[in-house]
Amino acid sequence: MDAQAEPRGAVEPVVSRSSPRPGFAVGLGTGVALSAAAAQLWLSQQLAPMRGIGWAELAPETLRPWTERLAFSAAWQYGSVVAILVAVAALLGLRVRPAWAYAVVAVLAVAVPVLTYTWATSPLTELAGNIRAD
């Protein structure tokens, strides 16, 4: 028997050099994007009772279209969560390696709940500016 031959039954692990494991930045971008999706889902649940009560009519003129069409729209609230999840799944499924792609998705994902909250609370901030102690 050859001294350098491997014993029968030995299994060599399959390591693909062309497909390295995702790095820290990929995991960070994925985690931030999924956290933003969870925040948007929570915000959607909190804003659900405010749909259809005319709250958006009190928003400032510059934000009223955004408040009416997006902040209180179930299509925006839940559709944005689905879009974030699809984007993350596509990046992971296609094994996209550049970290900047995950960073772009993460930044856009964080912008979604921030904008939703800003648009949804704009009527409150508009009303608060009109309160005077005369």
Q: Is 50 exposed, middle or buried (0-12, 13-18, 19+ CB in 10 A)?
A: middle
Interval 40-57: pLDDT, tens? 999 999 988 877 776 667
Quick check: is 53 in a domain?
no
Quick check: is 74 in a domain?
yes
CA distance 59 to 52: 14
Quick check: is 18 in a domain?
no
Give the chain's domain count. 1
Indicate the pLDDT class of residue 8, thresholds 50, 70 and 90: low
Q: Which amino acid is at 57?
A: E
Quick check: is 35 in a domain?
yes
According to the model, what pLDDT value does residue 13 have?
61
Indicate the pLDDT class of residue 12, thresholds 50, 70 and 90: low
Mean pLDDT of 82-110: 95
According to the model, what pLDDT value does residue 67 have?
74
Residue 46: which residues within 8 A CB-CB, separation 6 or more? none
Residue 61 is given by DSSP the state T
Quick check: is 80 in a domain?
yes
Range of the domain at 69: 24-47+58-128
Quick check: is 8 in a domain?
no
According to the model, what pLDDT value does residue 85 have?
98
Quick check: is 3 in a domain?
no
Quick check: is 109 in a domain?
yes
pTM passes above 0.85 = no
